Structure 1
Amino acid sequence: MNNSNQATTAALKATAPKQATNTGALATLVLVFFFWGFIAASQSIFIPFCRHNFSLTQFESQLLGSAFYGAYFIGSLALYLISSLLKYDILNRIGYKKGIIYGIWISVAGALLIIPSANAHSFAGLLGAYFVVALGFSLQQTAAQPFAIILGDPSTGSHRLNLAGGVNSLGTTLGPIIFSVFLFGQVGGDASKATVTNINNLFLIVACVFAAVALFFTFSRLPAGKDDDRFEGSYKASRSLVLMTLLIGVVILVGQVTKIEKLPLLIVTLLVVVGILAYSNSSAIKNHDKWGAMRYPQLIYGMLGIFLYVGVEVTIDNNFGALLREPGYLTLSGLDESKISKYVSLYWASLMIGRWTGAIGVFNLSETGKRIATIVVPFIAFGVALFVNHLYSGDVSDLYPYAGFVAIAIAAFFFGQQKPVKTLLTLAILAGFFILTGVLTSGIFSVYCIMAAGLCNSIMWPCIFSLGVAGLGKFTSQGSAFLIMMILGGAVVPPFQGAIGDVLGSTTGMHYSYFVAVGCYVVLAWLALRLRSTLKAQGLNFDEQIGGGH
């Protein structure tokens, strides 16, 4: 959930002489990446808590994720449209350093707004506050990734992004556990102990830490972080994105003022996104003029891929708590929400396992060294996840057999050979198989299967990103911005699954709703094949090396 973009490295040219890495600035910057992951992954604990305390349906509880990930789309789109109107890149004009600082202060304001919303027992206020937090994250993410590149030699920029991505994954691993401690008193505590005071204390601390980082950035001697890339506008692409936003807004408005069921409205939303992208692709093929990066079909496929990838990654997590609480799934009466954190944490740790493994390729190891590291590093990461969970929840012996799924993922990484298409296709098929098996079974083995999708998700982002921006030339930076906007998937797919769970009923509805995730992986596998044929037709090398994960 969060969320890092290794593919942006390709858009940044290495024109400067070798320079040393500003390790102090980088150490501070990775804290920002940590909190993106920390807050994003913690929703899996906060959503069940809100559902219980605000008496929400599963669909309504998913609106928390919609507000969070929708802010990424709105923030990125607004920044792009204003830059298009002014004909210069706003962020590049003020500098990446100030962009990060402004973004952090916006998130501070959002974290503080959560406190009065919780005191007033206002779920709508909570949604608004979460939106503000993520709006700040959107600006931070847009600025922080290229900033990481310029904090050292450009040729080693991917190393710094992989380091930041690894720290982001550590945040996603620790987030659910720490949130659980603050809300319930301890990881295995009684949910009835969760109070408004717990929420106030947690987000006051978060706001203070954010503010401390912002002040450090403000008074430290860090580079401003600017580059001279010319801003490339694209009127027709902007028009399509605005139209998509307006249509989604109309759907939301209809949902608020009518009694139409949520599921049909969410289906319409999905059709709007897919339809606008398909129309844009078709129109751009006929006439490239003023379409900018959208003239390339691989970008359109990449945008749909990012939409589904982020959507499925988030929906597995956001609905996981409700699945674990479902009677008869893991326990006879359903698991209390205060006890789900170790399973949610291991799901996000599964992404950390894959990302640490994916980062091996950027180091100058011998072929033998890389093979050994690809086997050893995942189990080291798994051990770290078990150790962290043990510190907070004690007995984690029921998680030991999950090592078998880690071994399967290692075999898949070897089979993918760090080739984007082959890796994406392999992992999409494997993840779909895992989730399908999880839907058709129950108990701890089913839980393992659901969590194992995280191992597959871990390095899909750079595969999709590198394929989506391949061959874009001067439009690479613009294409990257459009891809980041498609984090919107995290705002649409989870409530879609939640609504299906509500429709299917409280007994097994949430369990069978995971067919949504299976469908996402099927389409991702198809997109891998479409990207391969599209790039091959353009004479492009789609088997280039890839780095770590998002």
Structure 2
Amino acid sequence: MSQSKQPTNTGALATLVIVFFFWGFIAASNSIFIPFCKTHFGLNQFQSQLIGSAFYGAYFIGSLALFIASNLLGYDILNRIGYKKGIIYGLWISVVGALLIIPSAHANSFPAILGSFFVIALGFSLQQTAAQPFAISLGDPSTGSHRLNLAGGVNSLGTTLGPIIVSLFLFGSVGGEHTEVTVTNVNNLYMIVAGVFAAVALFFAFSKLPDGKNDEKFEKASKASRSLLMMTGAIGALIVLGQLTEVDKLYLLLISIIAVVGILFWSNGEAGRKPEGWGAMQYQQLIYGMIGIFVYVGVEVTIDNNFGALLKSPGYLTELGLDESKISKYVSLYWGSLMIGRWTGAIGVFNLSETGKKIATIVVPFIAFAIILLVNRAYGNDISDLYGYAACIVLAILAFFYGQQKPVKTLLTVALLATIAMLVGVFSKGIVSVYALMAGGLCCSVMWPCIFSLGVAGLGKYTSQGSAFLVMMILGGAVIPPLQGTLGDMGAIGFHKSYLLAALCFAFLAYLAVKFRSVLKAQGLDFDSQVGGGH
């Protein structure tokens, strides 16, 4: 007799989706806040990128702290308290961070604003760790991927709307200059954000939802913990060195990347000789996955976070450089490109015929593009110069068809396409260059599930632990954008040529796809049959 399916708790899922929306909303709105803070506080490009460093660094610190504490106690703390409470605690941490923005803004203190963003993202770290398995638990496990893709699509909608709404709060109107812009203009926005987070936290606290626990055994990995602490210590030491000495920031950032990669490969080598205590780090595909997530998140964030400075550069898009109040539509297009790709990537989880899937793969990207245009038009942006971007979407659709939803093939295809796009963006100007750089978002949109599924392939009982390690490597968003910012500050390179770093990152991800194939093939794994969910 067939077992009846567990119905989806639609009310709880709808509320949870709001949390996913605001993750994207806040992360993408940093792109507007960064150039504003650069002007307001008189920062150089490296210093302005510290907003992203504080934000994405908190993800790493939060995930690492949770893992190490669980490892010391011998049980999964989040599983012990339940995913529901994990989300509630994470929401309240983010409420505190959002409220801290207000006194930080009044004090006109950039370091205080960095601290506030760190606290917001610390809450996000706990929320994300709990929310994804919780979304699966809110219905039948067989349809869990549908709920995750729905949440991921709403997250991408948040990234599309975030830059426009924050631009409204900062400048009074999208595309128009506000006569007297101050950092306190954003106070109302973060009061609303804090209010929404508090409301959702209270809903979860008083609702009759499952706690969200499972019986999965926690796998300790003491040596892996020490390795991750070593990585943290190395980066921390370099930060202190940068603050207390005059050592060139470029060298420190390059050493940080070398330290991350070096420690991971050293760990894998040690685990190969004596696996006990290393847990998931004994698998080479996980090491490649961790480095892949580090580079992918780094390049996804750096393309956008440094784009405001490039648009403001005289002679790039306009003769005098674009006013910072007018960059929101281009930032919105970049994050909208991620939405286009993720909505398209989610088609595979629905029960459509082969013909239906092919039609949807062509139609859905243009529906998403139309939404991006309509949203920008509704907020008063001139969208006439965005129509030509449809050509980039056509190329992306062809790449999706060619990739056939196979992780290695898709990752290799979009990484090579993105490398070419970055080179076109660097060696051209005007709207063609804008299109090329924004197309990086189309390529990035499907990289997370490819890298993630390949990184955890064949990990068996260490799959959950490996997933936690992969999430930690969002750290790349804290390191690579400041590196590009430093290159942009150098007169010999400048903001435009600094995008060669993005081209290099994508070329490395293409190389990584080939390495994944060889490593997994050596283990007898049918790698391209493993397709993950959306990010």
With normalisation by structure 2, the TM-score equals 0.98
Q: Which residue of structure 2 aligns with residue 4 of structure 1?
A: none
2:221–2:278 contact (8 Å) kept in structure 1: yes
1:363-442 map, 5 Å: 363-442=350-429
Deviations 1:245-283 (A, max 9, x none): 001000001011111121111111111101111111211
1:25-64 map, 5 Å: 25-64=12-51
2:148–2:534 contact (8 Å) kept in structure 1: no
1:283 to 251, 267, 270: 270
2:82–2:213 contact (8 Å) kept in structure 1: yes
Q: Which residue of structure 2 aligns with residue 122 of structure 1?
A: 109
Distance 1:387 1:547, change over 3 A: farther
2:70 to 79, 83, 107: 83
Identity between Structure 1 and Structure 2 (%): 72
Distance 1:85 1:515 in 2: 43
1:176–1:341 contact (8 Å) kept in structure 2: yes
How far 1:205 sits from its partner (Å)?
1.2
Distance 1:273 1:191 in 2: 43
Distance 2:28 2:489 in 1: 23
1:362–1:547 contact (8 Å) kept in structure 2: no
1:342 to 329, 338, 357: 329
Q: Which amino acid aligns with 1:338?
A: S
Structure 1, 342-351 or 392-401: larger mean CA deviation: 392-401
Secondary structure of the 1:248 match is: helix
Q: Which amino acid aligns with 2:502?
A: A
Deviations 1:21-55 (A, max 9, x none): 00000000010000000000001100000000000
Q: Which residue of structure 1 aligns with residue 288 of structure 2?
A: 301
How far 1:201 sits from its partner (Å)?
1.2
Structure 1, 204-213 or 280-289: larger mean CA deviation: 280-289
Calculate the aligned-residue CA RMSD, in Å: 1.2
Structure 1 runs of 4+ off > 6 angstroms? none
1:449-528 map, 5 Å: 449-504=436-491, 509-528=494-513
Structure 1, 388-397 or 27-36: larger mean CA deviation: 388-397
Distance 1:192 1:44, change over 3 A: farther
Distance 2:101 2:167 in 1: 17
1:530 to 515, 520, 525: 515
Q: Which amino acid aligns with 1:254?
A: L
1:361–1:547 contact (8 Å) kept in structure 2: no
1:539 aligns with 2:501: no
1:359–1:547 contact (8 Å) kept in structure 2: no
Q: Which amino acid aligns with 1:88?
A: Y
Deviations 1:90-128 (A, max 9, x none): 000110000000000000000010111111110000000
Distance 1:548 1:323 in 2: 33
1:352 to 327, 339, 349: 339
How far 1:545 sits from its partner (Å)?
5.0
How far 1:546 sits from its partner (Å)?
2.5
Deviations 1:162-186 (A, max 9, x none): 0000000000000000000000001
In the alignment, structure 1 segments of 5+ residues that lack a partner are 1-15
Q: Which residue of structure 2 aligns with residue 181 of structure 1?
A: 168
Deviations 1:417-445 (A, max 9, x none): 00000000000000111011000000001
With normalisation by structure 1, the TM-score equals 0.96
1:240-251 map, 5 Å: 240-251=227-238
Secondary structure of the 1:24 match is: helix
Structure 1, 301-310 or 207-216: larger mean CA deviation: 207-216
Distance 2:309 2:533 in 1: 30
Deviations 1:359-417 (A, max 9, x none): 00001111000000000000000001100011012421110010010000000000000
Q: Which residue of structure 1 aligns with residue 206 of structure 2?
A: 219
1:103 to 65, 86, 90: 90
1:237 aligns with 2:199: no
Distance 1:137 1:70 in 2: 12
Number of paired residues?
534
Distance 1:132 1:438 in 2: 35
2:261 to 274, 280, 300: 274
In the alignment, structure 2 segments of 5+ residues that lack a partner are none
